[in-house]
Amino acid sequence: MAALLNRLHHISLHVSNAEKVAGDLVSKFKFSLFATRLTDTSRQLAFRKGTAVFIVNERQNQSGVSLNEELRLTDAFDPHPVNVGKNDRDNSIKCLYDVSPHYPVDSVSNVCFEVEDVERSFSTLRNLGCNFMVPPTTVQDERGPVTYSVVKSIVGNVCHTLIDRTKYKGSFLPGFDVIEKDCLPEEDLSCPITHFDHITYVCPKKSTHQVMSWYEKLFGFQRFFIKSDEDVDEGFVVNHKDVGLRLTAMEYWKCSEAGITLPSVDKKEPDCKFVIAESLPGQGKNQVDTFLEQHGAPGIQHIGLYTKDIVGKQQEIEEAGHSPQLLAQNGILLDTTCARILYHRQHPLFTKPLFAEDTFFLELIERRGATGFGEGNIRALWRSVQAHMENQTGDSQGEGSKKTMQSGQY
């Protein structure tokens, strides 16, 4: 029996420079900083837009400390809660609700889900052979307790925090100082993001089925077909010149009684899907290979953010001196099923990847009655990323001096 998930709570980033990533989230995607945890050994910043929440963890320059040594945890539930309230704060845990991976590059490495019973989930998943990085741990402050555990996924450095906050009366999580609403800036409606739409993993060749089986067995996810006539074994294949990719998607089964309930415009369906990308054998180097090389392991390559009005970016195109008729050439890719805009560094509306390495970017996507991705969109998206990678390669070989930056680029 799979663990019972309620909803996606937040996604964690581990970075060396929190200010830079925070600046991108706030200025480019209009997220607001709403909670912080600052101690002598940790810095955790929480940003929100709609119901999408990112926690940015600034990693410390430390070595020689293993994850479980850092948290001084055992493989058993500790019934004694850790006090993290303002008057009795225990700062010994460096990365609350997560682990400090000491990863050599910036990385998005934790997708946190809310559950109703962490101890039951822990027992269920451990019996299924899961490796827990943090066993059930309870923390509390003046507003009550929260229990969480952290399980390692089958994908590279990705882990999943399972959290139960049903007994907590606060607005976020114990240990975080929440910024009062009166002190928060007025919401910027120019980028109306509402929730996380999808999360894309990059994995090695021929590992997709193993990843899908893991998520199906442990969390109840089921196959989602990107294209209606998609081959069950081959997935959705994207070919570009001599480069080939295989994309396969999964979601929590819609008919499951324990189905995951995520914030959605249409409450009848789950909206956060997981996409697995791998290279096809015997073809040229592509963005999947680049990610694996620069990231050093499989992991999260990009996250789709759902927006209610993707064409609202039209004003920014006009302000950058471009005609609205150029939407399609500037990143808004329209077809009969959905519209999406990819942010990276090639076109006037694209931003650079969030990290120094070409390993992670964000994407905006709007759906109008569609649950999929749009075949034309997904091909254009991945070809755009491929073209960006090829331009980067040209720059590194000395051709960068011939390239000019377009005025509308972020």
DSSP string, 275-326: EEEEEPTTS---HHHHHHHHHSS-EEEEEEEEES-GGGGHHHHHHTT--GGG
The answer to the question of residue 409 being in a domain is no
Mean predicted confidence (pLDDT) in 326-345: 44
pTM as predicted: 0.81
Domain residues for the domain of 286 are 193-256+268-394
396 pLDDT above the threshold of 60: no
Residues 12 and 129 in one domain: yes
Mean predicted confidence (pLDDT) in 341-368: 64
Q: Which residue has the higher pLDDT, 139 or 410?
A: 139
Please tell me the predicted confidence (pLDDT) of residue 331. Answer: 47
Q: Which two tokens stand for residue 245?
A: 């990719």
Q: Is the dihedral of CA 229, 233, 239, 245 positive or negative?
A: positive
| pLDDT 10s digits, 81-122 | 787 776 555 566 678 899 877 788 999 999 999 998 999 999
149: CATH:
3.10.180.10
Residues 163 and 224 in one domain: no
Residues 224 and 328 in one domain: yes
Of 140, 155, 178, the position where a domain reaches its end is 178
The answer to the question of residue 69 being in a domain is no
Residues 158 and 219 in one domain: no
Residues 170 and 226 in one domain: no
Please tell me the predicted confidence (pLDDT) of residue 44. Answer: 94
Please tell me the predicted confidence (pLDDT) of residue 28. Answer: 82
| pLDDT 10s digits, 210-245 | 999 999 999 989 888 887 778 888 888 887 666 688
Mean of the per-residue pLDDT values for the chain? 76
Of 118, 144, 178, the position where a domain reaches its end is 178
Q: Which residue has the higher pLDDT, 62 or 31?
A: 31
Number of domains in the chain: 2
Residues 131 and 240 in one domain: no
Of 178, 208, 223, the position where a domain reaches its end is 178
User: What letters, b where the CB count within 10 A reaches 16 and e where it falls short, cover 107-146?
Assistant: bbbbbbbbbebbeebbebbeeeebebbbbbbbbbbebebb
> Which positions ≥6 away from 333 have C-beta within 8 Å?
339, 340, 341, 342, 374, 376, 377, 380, 381
Please tell me the predicted confidence (pLDDT) of residue 401. Answer: 35
Residues 201 and 158 in one domain: no
The answer to the question of residue 184 being in a domain is no
Residues 117 and 44 in one domain: yes
398 pLDDT above the threshold of 60: no
